[in-house]
Amino acid sequence: MEASRENSRIQVFDRGGAFKREWRGAQDKGRVFGVAVDAAGGYYVGVRRADYDPATNGVLKLDRDWNTVAAIGFGTPGHPVFNAVHDLAVARDGTIYVAETRTRRVVKLRPAR
């Protein structure tokens, strides 16, 4: 799997390197800056349009069919404030780690219980 910030897309390849599918669903929000897959096969995509504008930084959660099922951040009241989302990871327990370049921090988001 490859996240391309310049092309604002995610591409998936099989183990042999053959192209399987592509997602470009973040174009209205900004460029793709990382992708991670959780234990259930859901995707988390780091997105940003402008480095210093929290309204354009966040994480999209996609289902297995790549439909957006949640958005975290993007200036939404009560959500974490992100600044220059750069990459992310999802732990086995569902905890999401979002790395930012401008602030040099990692934001830890615990799953809802």
The reported pLDDT for the residue numbered 13 is 94
Map tokens 């999209």 to a residue: 60
Map tokens 């592509």 to a residue: 22
Q: How far apart are CA 89 and CA 37, in angstroms?
A: 8
CATH value at residue 73: 2.120.10.30
The reported pLDDT for the residue numbered 51 is 67
Parallel, antiparallel or unpaired: strands 68-73 and 85-90: unpaired
Query: What tens digit of pLDDT does each residue of 74-89 get?
Result: 989 989 888 889 999 9
Q: How far apart are CA 17 and CA 61, in angstroms?
A: 25
Residues in the chain with pLDDT < 50? none
**Domain residue limits at 10:** 2-109
Domain count, the chain: 1
